[in-house]
Amino acid sequence: MQKTLSSKRHRVLINFLIKQRENVGMTQVELADIIGEYQSFVARLESGQRRVDVVEFLKLSDVLKFDASVFIQDLSLIDD
């Protein structure tokens, strides 16, 4: 299995999360405060330096107002 941090799916996920954050009008600092993390956590996530685990992804879907199951389904259609 290949590394996932630099995979196409990971890049699509990160770009999606950034756009969703921007669409709801939230800064990295604001998102970090809501999820109980530091801004540097969000920055590392958005720069692709760290993975998003399932629990974090579900929390992000709540905060950023998107349907996690629909996104995962769409993501599964992307070839790595």
Q: pLDDT tens digit string along 2-52?
A: 677 889 999 999 999 999 999 999 999 999 999 999 999 999 999 999 999
Q: Could you tell me how far CA 24 lies from the centroid of its own chain?
A: 14
User: Which of 39, 40, 47, 38 lies closest to 18 in space, CA to CA?
Assistant: 47
Mean pLDDT for the stretch of residues 50-57: 95
Amino acid at residue number 4: T
Q: What is the pLDDT of residue 4?
A: 79
pTM of the entire predicted model? 0.92
Determine the pLDDT at residue 3: 74
Range 53-75 average pLDDT: 97
> Going by CATH, does the domain composed of 8-76 fall within 1.10.260.40?
yes
